[in-house]
């Protein structure tokens, strides 16, 4: 285990539902990340939080809304998603963001999301 947990592991939702993904890290890190992983495509960075402050929003549609109440927890709130949003959503954490020696990211197991 990497010290990063995600719940739920699988989620099926309709386009009108509201759901949330949760990530928790037990590594004492200060930066947390949301990525989208679609089949046969590289990881796509969605959001970055460093010391609870959002430092990156990679042109993500507003139907995805992140929340970081503290350095250990990260949420991704989902609302009126589209079928093309179906993917594996990965959370990661690192000691810090942007530094020279502390950026190695450790990933959780992901949430497999299916939008019907």
Partner 1 sequence: GESVGLHLPTLSVQEGDNSIINCAYSNSASDYFIWYKQESGKGPQFIIDIRSNMDKRQGQRVTVLLNKTVKHLSLQIAATQPGDSAVYFCASHPYGQNFVFGPGTRLSVLP
Q: List contacts with partner 1 (CB under 8 A).
A: 2, 4, 6, 40-43, 45, 48, 56, 90, 97-98, 100, 103-110
Q: Are 106 and 48 in contact (CB under 8 A)?
A: no
Judged by CB, which is closer to partner 1: 2, or 80? 2
In 3D space, the residue among 90, 91, 84, 92 whose CA is nearest the CA of residue 114 turns out to be 84
Judged by CB, which is closer to partner 1: 27, or 116? 27
With residues binned 3-state (H G I as helix, E B as strand, rest as coil), the percentages for the chain, rounded to 5, are: 5, 55, 40
Judged by CB, which is closer to partner 1: 79, or 109? 109
- The angle subtended at Cα 4 by Cα 114 and Cα 57, nearest 5°, is 65
Question: Nearest approach, Cβ of 97 to partner 1 (angstroms)?
Answer: 8
Strand ranges in 26-102 using DSSP code E only, listed in sequence order: 31-37, 44-50, 53-57, 64-70, 73-79, 87-94
Question: Nearest approach, Cβ of 74 to partner 1 (angstroms)?
Answer: 14
Question: Nearest approach, Cβ of 14 to partner 1 (angstroms)?
Answer: 24
Judged by CB, which is closer to partner 1: 21, or 90? 90
Question: Nearest approach, Cβ of 70 to partner 1 (angstroms)?
Answer: 21
């Amino acid at each position: 285990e990497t010290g990063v947990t995600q719940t739920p592991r699988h989620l099926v939702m309709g386009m009108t539902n509201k759901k949330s993904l949760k990530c928790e890290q037990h590594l004492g890190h200060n930066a947390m990340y949301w990525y989208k992983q679609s089949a046969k495509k590289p990881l796509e960075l969605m959001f970055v939080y460093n010391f609870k402050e959002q430092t990156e929003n990679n042109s993500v549609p507003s139907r995805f809304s992140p929340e970081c109440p503290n350095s250990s927890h990260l949420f991704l709130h989902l609302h009126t998603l589209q079928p093309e949003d179906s993917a594996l959503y990965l959370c990661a954490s690192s000691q810090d963001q942007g530094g020279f020696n502390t950026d190695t990211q450790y990933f959780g197991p992901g949430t497999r999301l299916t939008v019907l």
